[in-house]
Amino acid sequence: MPTPETETHLRGDVSIVSSQSVQTDSEDADGVRVHHAFSELVSQEFSPSVGHVTTILSGCVFAPSLFVFWFVNGVIDFSTALAIGAVSSAAGLQVRLLAYVLLIPVFLAARVVLHLLDPEDRRAVLSGSCPQSRYLSLDWVSVGILATGLPFALRDIGPWLGGNLVVVLGVFVLPRVAPERWVVPTKVAAFVVGPAVFLYAKYGAFLPIGPAPATVLGPVATLQLTPATVELLATSVNSLALGPVIVAGFAVLSNRVLTRPEIRSLPVVHHALPHRDPDSVVVVSAVFGTVFYLVFVFAMTGAIVGVPPSIG
């Protein structure tokens, strides 16, 4: 027969067990509620009507027109890079192609972050629209990938000087003194003859017929930079210290030259060239694209240049 002390001890054990059971049930209930709340949150965020994540994806990330521009711009830019010799090797081309493929998600992510940091842009993004970017332009960001290869194209400096001299004379100089009816034909001829001079001076020696470019164009076909000069330029443009600055300067110059009225007044060219962007957008975009490319090269090869040896 149990004593009073035994009964008290038994009641205490039952109380402890009951308390532990209630605590376990409470923890299980809390876990279910947390799981249910998290599921509702995820479901709500991806809801087409109220979800912030879906709104951002559909408004600022999933941009079909941007993907089309990225593809067309890439085809044109890489074809031009191959034609002018801005790619030093097949491995270099492969790295630039991979960087260009990854550029679109990196650019979109950066644009979304910048929009969400700005109060006005954030309200627009979360309401389902994507405001005009005041900081980044995909066109100028991509310059950071391709302009870093220009020193290799400048190895044959003669064709560059000859072709660009024809364009400068035909677009900016001769139309100022030519009769009005000859202005447009002169500009069109410059845009045709200039690239033709460049291509003939650079690749005319490979043609099976016709005179050698050196006999027709002289130094335009033969003038070259020394290997040491090309190496110095390439190292400088592909360094973290000077590369973003050089590429940004090149982008600003291109933005100002290609949008001059002497060029944009041509009927066909007017539709092919973009409008002039603010220098701030061009600089920020070019610097961002250059740094992204240099970091990507480091991730792929383990090599990066902080300061060119000639400066450091």
Computed over every residue of the chain, the mean pLDDT equals: 79
The 3-state secondary structure of the chain, one letter per residue: CCCHHHHHHHHHHHHHHHHHHHHHHHHHHHHHHHHHHHHHHHHHHCCCCCCHHHHHHHHHHCCHHHHHHHHHHHHHHHHHHHHHCCCCCHHHHHHHHHHHHHHHHHHHHHHHHHHHHCHHHHHHHHCCCCCCCCCCCHHHHHHHHHHHHHHHHCCCHHHHHHHHHHHHHHHHHHHHHCCHHHHHHHHHHHHHHHHHHHHHHHHHHHCCCCCCHHHHHCHHHHCCCCHHHHHHHHHHHCECCCHHHHHHHHHHHHHHHHCCHHHHCCHHHHHHCCCCCCHHHHHHHHHHHHHHHHHHHHHHHCCCECCCCCCC
23 pLDDT higher than 90 = no
pLDDT band at 80, cuts 50/70/90?
A: confident
What pLDDT is stored for residue 169 in this prediction?
Answer: 94
Q: What is the pLDDT of residue 45?
A: 44
Mean pLDDT of 134-153: 87
Cα angle value 87/89/91 (rounded, 5°):
110
Per-residue pLDDT reduced to its tens digit, 181-222: 999 899 999 989 999 999 999 888 888 888 888 888 888 888
Asked whether residue 36 carries a pLDDT value surpassing 70, the answer given is no
Write out pLDDT tens, residues 145-170: 888 888 888 888 999 999 999 999 99
pTM of structure: 0.73
Flag whether pLDDT at 29 surpasses 60. no
Q: In the predicted model, what is the mean pLDDT of residues 7-14?
A: 50
Print the SS3 string covering 104-124.
Answer: HHHHHHHHHHHHHHCHHHHHH
Residue pair 97/142 in contact (Cβ under 8 Å)? The answer is: no
* Mean pLDDT for the stretch of residues 33-58: 53
Task: Tell me which residue of 256, 249, 297 sits closest to 274, measured CA to CA.
Answer: 256
Q: Write out the two tokens for 168.
A: 């400068």
Please say whether the beta carbons of 103 and 142 come within 8 A.
Answer: yes
Residue 305's DSSP bridge partners are 239
Looking at residue 153, what is its pLDDT?
86
Average pLDDT (58-66) is: 63
Q: Which two tokens stand for residue 270?
A: 């007017």
DSSP state of 57: I
Check pLDDT > 80 for residue 134: no
Q: Is residue 114 predicted with pLDDT exceeding 70?
A: yes
The SS3 call for residue 7 is helix
**Which comes out higher in pLDDT, residue 273 or 210?**
210
